[in-house]
Amino acid sequence: MTTETQNLSERLLTALTGAAELFTVELGRELGLYAALRDHPAGAAELAKTAGIDERYAREWLEQQAAAGFLTVDGDEFTLTGEAAEVLLDEGGPGEFAVGLGLIFPRVVEVFRTGEGISYAEYGRPIRHGIAAFNQPMFDHLLAREWMPAVPEVESRLRAAPGARVLDLGCGAGRSSVALAQAYPAITVRGIDLDKASITEARAAAATAGVADRVSFTLGDAAQIDGEYDLVTIFEALHDMGDPVGVLRAVRPRLAPGASVFIGDERVADEFTAPAGEVERLQYAFSVLHCLPATRAENPVLANGTILRAPTLLAWAREAGYDQPQVLDIPNDFWRFYRLR
């Protein structure tokens, strides 16, 4: 065996270990095992009773979690530390993504042979929740502290009275729409998405957050919009749209004087390179397994996939009639940001 062969074999084995552990993490979340361990250490018998699971399975899961370094162990008692709880008790995330991709994998094999697509709805709750949970911390902690302040004209309009009218295209489960409304109390936000389940969850999220009086959601096509808006946002959704140029073109006549389109999409290299960095590797894997099949299910004008490079987006914007598209200087590991006028 050559060194290159051995290195690749070891890399795949490491990936298998990580994937399997993600499934055990999701098992702990789904069954409430981490929640049961949050307040005090427990052994297998106590965990089984508290969580309502079989004791033998409880013991095996506890030992596996400790072996993986997720739990600490002292004798027969296992502890979930506060630092680990902060990560493992989060809704969604990598574990839910992994489950969703595993469930849909047989369909991916089929469409690779037929050239068909897989609708976003068919990917189901794990992918829907995984995406929402992955992006939630950025919306909560960065949207109003870093992203909007990077464009002072936009920030000042959001804080002005009367309140700005915001259109959030491809809003998904509404996390971005709700975060905008919470950060800027004077604005009204309208979210639009094609996925019925996402819109249902978005409305519930707005109600829970207490902003349903200023945030509304519409089930519909981003290319068919009405109204006039002071800001249009598109967060990690343009690359999934089957007619991105058509959407951007449809937005232009809906912009109020001085309004902007603010886009956050994948931060990838401007040109294809191989091998790529870790983030781009992750984005390509999502593209193969999710974004490309989901877009092809829409009878697209084009199916871009996850890898939306900056020159491509800027070219789309110019084709749609925006003469001042710009890449914004906002640091982020996963997304690159744009302003169109």
Same domain assignment for residues 191 and 218 = yes
> In this structure, what are the phi and psi dihedrals at residue 37, rounded to the nearest 5 degrees?
-90, -5
pLDDT tens sequence across 48-85:
999 999 999 999 999 999 999 999 999 999 999 988 98
Kindly state whether residues 229 and 276 are assigned to the same domain: yes
**Proportion of the chain above pLDDT 90, given as a percent:** 90
Of 173 and 92, the structure prediction assigns the larger pLDDT to: 173
Mean model confidence pLDDT for the chain: 95
pLDDT digits 0-9 by tens, 235-260: 999 999 999 999 999 999 999 999 99
Q: What's the mean pLDDT in 268-277?
A: 94
Question: Per residue in 168-184, pLDDT tens?
Answer: 999 999 999 999 999 99
Q: Are residues 83 and 125 in the same domain?
A: no
254 and 321 in a single domain? The answer is yes
Q: Mind listing the pLDDT tens digit for each residue in 187-232? A: 999 999 999 999 999 999 999 999 999 999 999 998 889 999 999 9
Phi, psi of 247 (to 5 degrees): -65, -50
Are 265 and 233 in contact by the 8 Å Cβ rule? The answer is no
Instruction: Please choose, from the candidates 251, 266, 270, the residue with its C-alpha nearest in 3D space to the C-alpha of residue 322.
Output: 251
For residue 99, being part of any structural domain is answered with no
Looking at residue 72, which CATH number applies to its domain? 1.10.10.10
> Based on the domain organization, do 23 and 151 belong to the same domain?
no
Angle between helices 94-114 and 120-141 (to 10 degrees): 140
CA-based max dimension of the chain: 70
145 with 59, same domain: the answer is no
Is 111 a domain residue?
yes
Q: Is 197 exposed, middle or buried (CB count within 10 Å of its CB: 0-12, 13-18, 19+)?
A: middle
In a domain, residue 34? The reply is yes
Domain boundary among 30, 60, 89: 89
SS (H, E, C) the chain: CCHHHHHHHHHHHHHHHHHHHHHHHHHHHHCCHHHHHCCCCECHHHHHHHHCCCHHHHHHHHHHHHHHCCCEEECCEEECCHHHHHHHCCCCCHHHHHHHHHHHHHHHHHHHHHCCCCCHHHHHHHHHHHHHHHHHHHHHHCHHHHHHHHCHHHHHHHHCCCCCEEEEECCCCCHHHHHHHHHCCCCEEEEEECCHHHHHHHHHHHHHHCCCCCEEEEECCCCCCCCCEEEEEEECCHHHCCCHHHHHHHHHHHEEEEEEEEEEEECCCCCCCCCCCHHHHHHHHHHHHHHHHHHHCCCCCCCCCCCCCHHHHHHHHHHCCCCCCEECCCCCCCEEEEEEC
Q: How far apart are CA 22 and CA 65, in angstroms?
A: 11
Q: Provide the pLDDT for residue 86.
A: 84
**Please, is 145 exposed, middle or buried when counting C-beta atoms within 10 Å of its C-beta (0-12, 13-18, 19+)?**
exposed
Mean pLDDT confidence for 124-143: 93
Please state the pTM of the whole predicted model.
0.92
Q: What percent of the chain has pLDDT over 70?
A: 99
Q: How many domains in the chain?
A: 2
Note the pLDDT of residue 223. 84
* Full domain range(s) for residue 62: 3-89
Q: What pLDDT, on the 0 to 100 scale, is given for residue 332?
A: 96
97: in domain: no
State how far the Cα of 84 lies from the Cα of 71, in Å rounded to an integer.
8
Q: State the Cα–Cα distance between residues 217 and 116, nearest whole angstrom.
A: 29
What is the rounded average pLDDT of the residues 261-279?
Answer: 95
User: Which tokens is 102 given?
Assistant: 């595993």
Mean of pLDDT values over 12-19: 94
* Range 263-279 average pLDDT: 95
The confidence score (pLDDT) of residue 92 equals 59
Q: What per-residue confidence (pLDDT) applies to 59? A: 97
Return the structure tokens found at 269: 């290299």
Same domain, 52 and 78: yes
**CA pair distance 25, 87, nearest whole angstrom:** 10
Do 174 and 291 have their domain in common?
Answer: yes
pLDDT at 82: 85
What is the tens place of the pLDDT at every residue in 323-337? 989 999 999 999 999
Tell me: do 118 and 83 sit in the same domain. Answer: no
Examine the domain organization and report whether 122 and 215 are in the same domain.
yes
Do the domain assignments include residue 94?
Answer: no
- CATH assignment of the domain containing 155: 3.40.50.150
pLDDT-based confidence at residue 91 (cuts at 50, 70, 90): low
